[in-house]
Structure 1
């Protein structure tokens, strides 16, 4: 495992997390480790908190807006059928939101249900794991679109 995966937030703050797309008002937008659904991203809250309920109303508003802007960027770059948003916190005990594009090319029995029902190996199989060589262009396009959307929405 890459050292930055041991503390994704600290490595993002230090500029050592290669999955970071950009810093947003409420945290870091990152490209997901597995890319079996191209464009899958995560919003990691910063500063670190355990759940959405640990934030003030203003911070919650910022987090949910940032989450939706990531969905807008994914939609603009990949034109998925729809975008699914998921905040769980069952494994990693810090606030983060999964932003999953859903595609027409997915098998119907997969597309209509949560992505967590995909085979477990999809999350770890090497061919789907993010790497700059394979996914660098995607990462750049998402970053550019996200920066454009943040600027358009008057966000620092």
Structure 2
């Protein structure tokens, strides 16, 4: 495992996390480690919290707003059918939200199910592993859209 993956938030703070797109008010917008569903992003809550419920109402509102701004940027970059949002924290016990584009080209039986219903070996295939060479243009496109949206709302 890359050393930055063992402390995703700390590595983002130290500018060592290559997946970081933008530092937002509530955390770091990052492109996902795998791009099985192109445009997959995560919002890493910052400062660190164990759950959404630890945040004040104002902080929660900001976090959820930031999460949807990332979704808007993915829509502009990838033109998906819809965006799925999930905050699970079952494996990693720090606040983070998964923002996933869903597509018309997905098999019919998977369109109405969470992405984790896809076989693990399919979702995490090495061909989908993030690298700047393979997915740098996508990361740049989403980042530029996110920055533009933030500017439009005087973020």
Gaps of 5+ in 1: none
Pairwise CA distance, 1:124: 2.9
The aligned counterpart of 2:108 is 108
Instruction: Find the aligned partners of 1:51 and 1:110 in 2 and give their Cα distance.
Output: 28
Q: Could you list the structure 1 runs, at least 4 aligned residues long, displaced by more than 6 angstroms after superposition.
A: none
The aligned counterpart of 2:153 is 153
Gaps of 5+ in 2: none
The aligned counterpart of 1:75 is 75
Pairwise CA distance, 1:154: 1.5
User: Does the 8 Å CA contact 2:36/2:124 hold for their aligned counterparts?
Assistant: no
Pairwise CA distance, 1:111: 1.2
The aligned counterpart of 1:90 is 90
The aligned counterpart of 2:25 is 25
Instruction: Find the aligned partners of 1:109 and 1:72 in 2 and give their Cα distance.
Output: 25
Which SS does the other structure have where 2:137 is aligned? helix
Alignment map for 1:133-152 (pairs within 5 Å): 133-152=133-152
TM-score (norm 1): 0.97
The aligned counterpart of 1:14 is 14
User: Does the 8 Å CA contact 1:85/1:99 hold for their aligned counterparts?
Assistant: yes
The aligned counterpart of 1:56 is 56
Instruction: Find the aligned partners of 1:58 and 1:93 in 2 and give their Cα distance.
Output: 22
User: Does the 8 Å CA contact 1:27/1:46 hold for their aligned counterparts?
Assistant: yes
Which SS does the other structure have where 1:53 is aligned? helix
User: Does the 8 Å CA contact 1:34/1:122 hold for their aligned counterparts?
Assistant: no
Instruction: Find the aligned partners of 2:143 and 2:119 in 1 and give their Cα distance.
Output: 29
User: Does the 8 Å CA contact 1:45/1:63 hold for their aligned counterparts?
Assistant: yes
The aligned counterpart of 1:126 is 126
Instruction: Find the aligned partners of 2:89 and 2:122 in 1 and give their Cα distance.
Output: 20
Map Cα deviations across residues 102-123 of structure 1 (whole Å, 9 max, x no partner).
0000001111101110111234
User: Does the 8 Å CA contact 2:86/2:99 hold for their aligned counterparts?
Assistant: yes
